[in-house]
Copies of this chain bind each other. A is one copy, B any other.
């Protein structure tokens, strides 16, 4: 076990990097393949050699980039969560009204879920408790804190109803996830109108 973030394992030094990024591509290919398979069949239902095959690499190669299957799933989880956080934070309208901020958050999550359905499904539609490590849980916490901040701030301004912030997050995120799950199960493509309607519902749930 590596002392620091053992699951990061940056690809072997790659003396002559660049050109066609031959090395990073492999890590990327592995993660993409793993993401697809974990969403399709779950963590335990996916065999490492299957990931290797879909990524067009040898089974042993995966272990040059990830210490273990568990390290791989954690790297994947953190990667997706970070992307979501980044999507939420970029140019956040810090001084806007709560209503507008809420619309921004919802819209960005919607865009993320639309553009990266596997990533969203992987992070939110599955239960990961048993194999996520402390670092992954910390990243999860960071993503939660973002919305907590928004809620607490808006509560102080009287724009969101008084209630335990964690409960409100549960309601809002739960509703969002519920909508996505509905669309998946009914095999429906979310339209901007669907998203707007759902957003309105969610806002009504928490507005003061």
Could you tell me which A residues sit within 8 Å of B by CB distance?
A: 40-45, 125-127, 129-131, 161, 163-164, 166-183, 186, 188, 194, 197-198, 201-202, 204-207
**8 Å CB contact of A163 from B130, B169, B172, B197:** B197
Whether A172 and B178, one on each chain, are in contact in the complex, defined by CB atoms closer than 8 angstroms, is yes
Q: Is the interface of A mostly helix, strand, loop or mixed?
A: helix
**8 Å CB contact of A176 from B131, B174, B180:** B174
Q: Counting chain B CB atoms within 10 Å of each CB, which of A163, A204, A206 scores highest? A: A204
A125 to B188, CA, bound (A): 22
A168 to B168, CA, bound (A): 18
Closest 5 CB pairs of A and B: A174-B178, A44-B44, A170-B182, A170-B178, A205-B205
Of all chain B residues, the one with the shortest Cβ separation from A173 is B178
Of all chain B residues, the one with the shortest Cβ separation from A171 is B175
Give min CB distance, A180 to chain B, whole Å. 8
Whether B130 and A201, one on each chain, are in contact in the complex, defined by CB atoms closer than 8 angstroms, is no
Whether B177 and A178, one on each chain, are in contact in the complex, defined by CB atoms closer than 8 angstroms, is yes
A181 to B169, CA, bound (A): 10
Give min CB distance, A123 to chain B, whole Å. 12
Give min CB distance, A174 to chain B, whole Å. 2
Of all chain B residues, the one with the shortest Cβ separation from A179 is B170
User: What are 18 A-B pairs at a CB distance below 8 A?
Assistant: A41-B130, A42-B130, A44-B44, A45-B131, A126-B127, A169-B178, A170-B179, A170-B182, A171-B178, A171-B198, A172-B175, A172-B178, A174-B177, A174-B179, A174-B181, A175-B178, A175-B205, A178-B178
